[in-house]
Structure 1
Amino acid sequence: MKQLKFVGTILLLLYCSSCIRSKEKVIERPPLIWSHSCLEIDKVVLSDTATVLYMKAFFTPQNWIKIASTSFLTDDKGKQYILRSTEGITMGKEFYMPDSGEAEFKLIFPALPASVSSVDFSEGDNMQGAFKIWGIQLKSKTLPKLTLPKETKPDIHAVLPDPELKSGKAPLSVQILGYRKGMPTELNVSVCNPIDFPPTDIVLQLHADGTCSGDIPVYTNHAAVVRYAGKGFECFLAPGETTSLAINLHEIFRTQSRLRKEKHPYGKPVYYSGYLASLSQELAVVKPQFPSIENNDFARQLLSDLNGKNEEEVKEYFLTKHKERTELIAGLEVSPACKQVLRCETNLLYTSLISQTSSLVVQSYIVNNKLQGEEAQKYYNTRINKVPDNFFDVLKDLLSANETTVFYCPTTSYYIYIWGALKFEDTLIRSLGTNQGILFDLLHTAAISRQINDFTSIDGDRIAQLNAPFREIIKAKNDELLVKIEANKKKTGFTVSETGEVSNEDLFPSILSKYRGKVILVDVWATWCGPCIMANKAIKPLKEEWAEKAGKDIVYVYIAGENSPLGTWNNMIPDLKGEHFRLTNQQWAYFSSELKIEGVPTYFIVDREGNITSKMTGFPGVEAIKSKLTELMNKK
């Protein structure tokens, strides 16, 4: 009887465990609306006791990710479920990615009610760079159906209109299909006019329905890039012409996903209407076949292919690639306008690469031989060769001085900038046999525009030398600058401080000693540093929130070097409330070496006794800085 009872007990336990297992629901690779991070969900297991997300991370090897302990799920009724535990990763701790760049772990949350059909995952709404995943489907094998716009059919006979050089406003409207509450509310528009590099960025705010609109300042017909969901969409703008885009989040995520790429498409990633919509739709389809230098895979392959080649061999390599791409474009079943833009971009790309041949030979050697630091710099300084004068004669077969299609190429301003930095104009004049034409107008106008962007006003005689209508464009920009310079003279809240007569060794301690007894945020920056400028804009609301603490509990110290032009620096610091130091080149070199500053921006957080408690290379986000400063300010 005891033995039979024991056997009966075992059978009862097996039955009970099978009942428990039967209540588990396993959802393999559930459909997602969007994840704007390196995380994807491989599987969801639902039971009466827990909700388990089986995560896969795809990120740069030896770089870390972190899952916040504040992470939560939100169900379709708005109820939140806080992260309970993890397996394979520790909450709140840095997890370094293996060499494969892939990792798996589990996130365990409380059980969900049976009625829940979808959830969102988030680390938190007030955390810079927080992981978020929207629309995790628990009951459906497909995503909610979107109402897709009517597709603009390509006009295979379309030709490019001649650009009209005049200033004006271009109405732009954008709709994010699949937009949900909690998704990013800002959309970036990079205005790719041919004379300003980097492009002018304009931020538009999305409404609750995922739409936004704005009048974009333009100089002529030219390209723009609308950025959302980690992806950019090229379009065209023109004075008085309306451009409209509908961006399909469902399809964007599918194409970007490592685990869901083979799923059935949810439509096109983007739909265009309005100005040059047919051309935009064509280019959106065919341009991925023609990567450029800003594409990391293209750049890596390029440097690999150049390994071991000398300058003449590199030039021949570029000419061969140019020919192959040109022939591929000729065979496309697209409009003449589309081919025209693609050919122009190809000509600009390979002209630019050939103009940088000597530098690319050196870069290829450094990368392929894994040279670093001083060893790489030494090789770079000693290796660059001067090529013969006739080396660039081939450019006359690639480039035209009067090619107006350049206005429709989003990367034109980059190439103009590169040729300006290389002082390449004389070479272009020799190669093309002329110093007249649109290309040279752009080179001259862009050079002056850069000076204005650096807060250097231009005298009227120099502006008068420009050809119309570039003359009017530059005059308007210069007039705006003069107004801003006068306005800056009236601004307060910033102080230009001197380092005094101190040794390099005592420089930083001397600066910190001025503010002993207060918490210090030190921002090492440069006027030409785009991430520095964006970070300063991001942190401005926090400084305004803490306005009463400024100078009492906390001090903001900004340190730049002579590589930030004095005129530019003088006119940028009025918008950065705090204490400003501009170091000499010698001071900057010692300061950077001693404190191991690997790039800008770099931040130091210093306690009331003058001790550095944190160092951060790159902008870590407002919340990270706020948290560290608050902790120190609360210590009396």
Structure 2
Amino acid sequence: MKNSTFVASALSALMLAACQTGPKVVEKPLIESANSMTLDIAKVELTDTATVLHVDAYFRPHYWIRIDSKTYLRAEGKNYALTNAQGITPDSLFWMPESGEASFVLSFQPLPKRTKSFDFIESDCADCFKLFGIDLTGKQTYDTPEDIPAEALEIDGNAPMPEPVFKSGETTVEVRLLHHRKELGKVLNMYVNDLTGTQEEYAALIDSTTDVAVFKFKQYGPAMALLPMIGNIQIAPGEHATVYVDQRASGQRIVSRRKGEAAQPFRALYVQGTYANLNNLVNSGTDCHVWSMNLYDGKFADYKMTSKAYAAHVIGTYKALSDSIAADSLPPLMKEWMQVSLQEEAVAAMLGGNYIREHNYRYTHDEWNRNPVKGIEPMKPEDQAEICKLFDVNNPRLLMGSRAFSYIDNVVYSDKGWMKIAGIRTGLIPSLQKYALLVGKAQNGVLTPADLKELDQEDDAFYAEALEAMQQSAVARLEAVKDKAHIEPIPDVPLKDLFDAIVSPYKGKVVLVDFWNTWCGPCRAAIKATEPLKDTELKNDNLVWIYIANETSPIVKYKTMIPDIKGKHFRLNDKQWEYLAKKFKIDGIPSYVLVDKDGSYRLRNDLRDHDLLCKTLAEKSQSE
């Protein structure tokens, strides 16, 4: 027995050694997650002397990508360095061709043949390319994550459509990140669409031990929360919703893009909470057709259509899509949700007909300047009111679909002529319109009893309560920052001298003037990226930061933000802002005016490139 066992063992060892001498090739490996959609690993070759990656790149034509020479593979706690590259030169700019697609080959030190998966790490910088869990076992599908509660797993497609909840309260959204890698980020962002057609941004730190991010915020009425690159969920005010996010969705998006590959159903979200069933159904990963008018693809309607012809086009398109949804084999709840979403879109299409036709003109002519487009017949109220004959446009359930944001934005700020013709005097839309007019006052803490009298005590009770709650919150927040938020006085000079008066006290220094507002996402992102550098590489007594906003930045939000932004802060009125915008030909924000030490200045929107901004400020502030 001992001899036969020895012989069998020796043969097994020889067979294993023989298997390991040849190359191991894995085509189209599964990828767990990634911080970018730019790179894909098409093939992996493992030999005794190298690990070779065949890389496909996807990026905007004529833009560049770059691969750092310090790129390495990571497996089982060890790093394997980049040794060679073909088709791309490390540390150099690689310009994408017209197709937006390219391929190259990267060779690394050899991974052990037993390796089951590895990570691709393009150096250790925060925004370098990183792909995690590149599978070498031949795995073809993603399994369901473990430890998901039953409520978050189960879906009842026959359940009724839930009703919107009209109340106010502090909402908690607890996001549990599954398969999280610290390189994917330390902060999670969430955006909440509210009843006034505006969007609030929230950020939460990801706990490094639990991979959980918790958002807490005041919510007034039904809302939709958006988790970028993950999905959207309906949330009820005052609830505690728990969201399980499978971060392998980023890897799945890369895998499903591969040519010739059938898209795999993948579920990224599992939700517990008031709207758990609807949220789980919508985010189930089921491969189903999305019925949409595609209003903003530039092809929805001919810009030359008259008001009547455009209205008829909207109605005809709506009916055709509605019939298609009804004929689909989807579960009843999914059909109803899609019908609600289509109705939201149809209302937006009709009330926004002027903008949509103008957009189509600009798309057709590739003319995106600010010059008014002439010759488009304005929508007539009687044509817009035709949409009311198809369904109840005043139905509160129209706050529960995927396009509620567009519906709210259009009904709240539309001309009321169509409502008179349709006989809409009470209900959701009139209440939303009155509410939207007063939200700004409540958020700034200046709402008065006279303002509340504009609301109907019975029909608008929720809105009055919400406004009073906002007012109380605003006053409390202002009190909390009254000694921290310092706004510089506006110089009392003619408009033509305003900018010079703002910057002249700092002659002899370099001054960066940042035109921004609290509602501007790119502005906030740029400030967030720059702020830490003021205490490190951009720390210099010869460098002054001036931030200019206007009164579109709500005063409470503005005052709570600026204590965390080091610099001088000015808040201009409309007339002052408009003058400076024309003076510098500002085409949008953020915009930057750079003032040299001699007091000369000019618009420098090339500094929207963060790296160039840092380099320029460092050089100018340190020069004699």
TM-score, normalised with respect to structure 2: 0.81
Residue 557 of structure 1 pairs with residue 559 of structure 2: no
Residue 363 of structure 1 pairs with residue 363 of structure 2: no
User: Does the C-alpha gap of structure 1 residues 580 and 155 become closer, same or farther in structure 2, counting only changes over 3 Å?
Assistant: closer
Separation of aligned partners in 1, 2:470 and 2:314 = 38
User: Does the C-alpha gap of structure 1 residues 80 and 338 become closer, same or farther in structure 2, counting only changes over 3 Å?
Assistant: same
Contact 2:296 2:359 in 1 (8 A): no
1:490 partner amino acid: D
Structure 2 match to 1:495: 488
Matches within 5 A, 1:145-224: 147-148=145-146, 149=148, 152-195=153-196, 197-203=198-204, 205-215=206-216, 217-224=218-225
Separation of aligned partners in 1, 2:501 and 2:129 = 41
User: Does the C-alpha gap of structure 1 residues 430 and 365 become closer, same or farther in structure 2, counting only changes over 3 Å?
Assistant: same
Once the two structures are TM-superposed, the CA of residue 122 in structure 1 deviates from its matched residue by: 3.2
Structure 1 match to 2:579: 586
Structure 2 match to 1:12: none
Structure 2 match to 1:312: 308
Q: Secondary structure at the match of 1:33?
A: strand
Once the two structures are TM-superposed, the CA of residue 91 in structure 1 deviates from its matched residue by: 3.8
Pairs aligned (count): 592
Question: Which residue of the other structure, out of 343, 350, 355, is the alignment partner of 1:354?
Answer: 350
Once the two structures are TM-superposed, the CA of residue 523 in structure 1 deviates from its matched residue by: 1.8
* Structure 1: stretches of 5+ with no match in the other structure: 1-18
Identity %: 25
User: Does the C-alpha gap of structure 1 residues 250 and 590 become closer, same or farther in structure 2, counting only changes over 3 Å?
Assistant: same
Separation of aligned partners in 2, 1:494 and 1:187 = 30
Question: Which residue of the other structure, out of 311, 318, 323, is the alignment partner of 2:319?
Answer: 323
Contact 2:34 2:184 in 1 (8 A): no
Q: Secondary structure at the match of 2:488?
A: strand
Q: Secondary structure at the match of 1:533?
A: helix
Residue 440 of structure 1 pairs with residue 430 of structure 2: yes
Residue 416 of structure 1 pairs with residue 408 of structure 2: yes
Contact 2:315 2:387 in 1 (8 A): no
Residue 385 of structure 1 pairs with residue 377 of structure 2: yes
Contact 2:516 2:549 in 1 (8 A): yes
Residue 530 of structure 1 pairs with residue 521 of structure 2: yes
User: Does the C-alpha gap of structure 1 residues 574 and 383 become closer, same or farther in structure 2, counting only changes over 3 Å?
Assistant: farther
Separation of aligned partners in 1, 2:461 and 2:607 = 42
Contact 1:401 1:432 in 2 (8 A): no
Matches within 5 A, 1:108-147: 108-114=107-113, 116-127=115-126, 129-142=127-140, 147=145
User: Does the C-alpha gap of structure 1 residues 307 and 289 become closer, same or farther in structure 2, counting only changes over 3 Å?
Assistant: farther
Residue 430 of structure 1 pairs with residue 420 of structure 2: yes
* Structure 2: stretches of 5+ with no match in the other structure: 1-17
1:237 partner amino acid: A
Once the two structures are TM-superposed, the CA of residue 32 in structure 1 deviates from its matched residue by: 0.9
Q: Secondary structure at the match of 1:188?
A: strand
User: Does the C-alpha gap of structure 1 residues 121 and 499 become closer, same or farther in structure 2, counting only changes over 3 Å?
Assistant: farther
2:517 partner amino acid: A
- String of CA shifts for 1:252-272, please: whole Å, max 9, x gaps: 532454227836847533333
User: Does the C-alpha gap of structure 1 residues 77 and 199 become closer, same or farther in structure 2, counting only changes over 3 Å?
Assistant: same
2:341 partner amino acid: E
Matches within 5 A, 1:223-622: 223-227=224-228, 230-240=229-239, 242-251=240-249, 253-256=251-254, 257-259=256-258, 262=261, 265=264, 268-285=267-284, 289-290=289-290, 298-299=294-295, 301-303=297-299, 305-306=301-302, 309-333=305-329, 337-373=333-369, 377-378=370-371, 380-398=372-390, 400=392, 402-409=394-401, 411-421=403-413, 423-424=414-415, 426-453=416-443, 455=444, 457-466=446-455, 467-491=460-484, 495-496=488-489, 498=491, 514-543=505-534, 545=535, 549=539, 552-560=541-549, 573=562, 576-580=565-569, 582=572, 583-592=576-585, 597-603=586-592, 615-616=604-605, 620=609
Separation of aligned partners in 2, 1:568 and 1:170 = 19
- String of CA shifts for 1:521-551, please: whole Å, max 9, x gaps: 33232344232134334544444x359946x
Structure 2 match to 1:103: 102
Separation of aligned partners in 2, 1:494 and 1:152 = 51
User: Does the C-alpha gap of structure 1 residues 310 and 100 become closer, same or farther in structure 2, counting only changes over 3 Å?
Assistant: farther
1:253 partner amino acid: G
User: Does the C-alpha gap of structure 1 residues 243 and 442 become closer, same or farther in structure 2, counting only changes over 3 Å?
Assistant: same
Structure 2 match to 1:8: none
1:484 partner amino acid: R
User: Does the C-alpha gap of structure 1 residues 147 and 96 become closer, same or farther in structure 2, counting only changes over 3 Å?
Assistant: same
Contact 1:607 1:613 in 2 (8 A): no
Separation of aligned partners in 1, 2:622 and 2:562 = 29
Contact 1:222 1:409 in 2 (8 A): no
Separation of aligned partners in 2, 1:397 and 1:84 = 69
Separation of aligned partners in 2, 1:155 and 1:618 = 52
